[in-house]
Amino acid sequence: MLNIEKALVICAHPDDEVLGLGGTIKKMTNAGVEVNVLMFANGNEGYTDLKDKEHIVEIRRKEREAVKDILGIHTYEAYDYGDYAIPANETTYKMCLQAIRKYKPDIVFTHYWREYNTHKAVASIVSDAFWQAGWNASLDLGEPWKAKSLYYFEVIELLAHVSHIVDIEATFEAKMEAMRAYASQCTVVSGALQQIEGKALMRGAQAGVKYGEAFLKSIDKPEVVR
Q: Does 183 bind a copy of itself (CB under 8 A)?
A: no
Q: Which residues contact 119 (CB under 8 A, 6 or more apart)?
A: 12, 16, 111, 112, 155, 156
Q: Does 40 bind a copy of itself (CB under 8 A)?
A: no
Q: Does 113 bind a copy of itself (CB under 8 A)?
A: no
Local structure of residue 112 (DSSP, 8 states) = -
**Least distance CB 212 / a copy of itself (angstroms):** 8
The alpha carbon of 220 is separated from its chain's Cα centroid by a whole number of angstroms, namely 19
Q: Quote the longest CA-to-CA distance of the chain.
A: 60
CA distances from 111 to 11, 30, 32, 183, 223 (A): 6, 23, 24, 22, 21
Q: Does 132 bind a copy of itself (CB under 8 A)?
A: yes
Among 80, 89, 148, 183, binds a copy of itself (CB under 8 A): 89
**Least distance CB 203 / a copy of itself (angstroms):** 8
Distance CA 159, CA 196 (A): 15
Residues making contact with a copy of itself (CB under 8 A): 1-2, 45-50, 53, 82, 84-85, 87-90, 93-94, 116-117, 124-125, 128, 131-132, 135-140, 158, 160-167, 187-191, 194-195, 197-199, 201-209, 214, 216-217, 219-220, 222-226
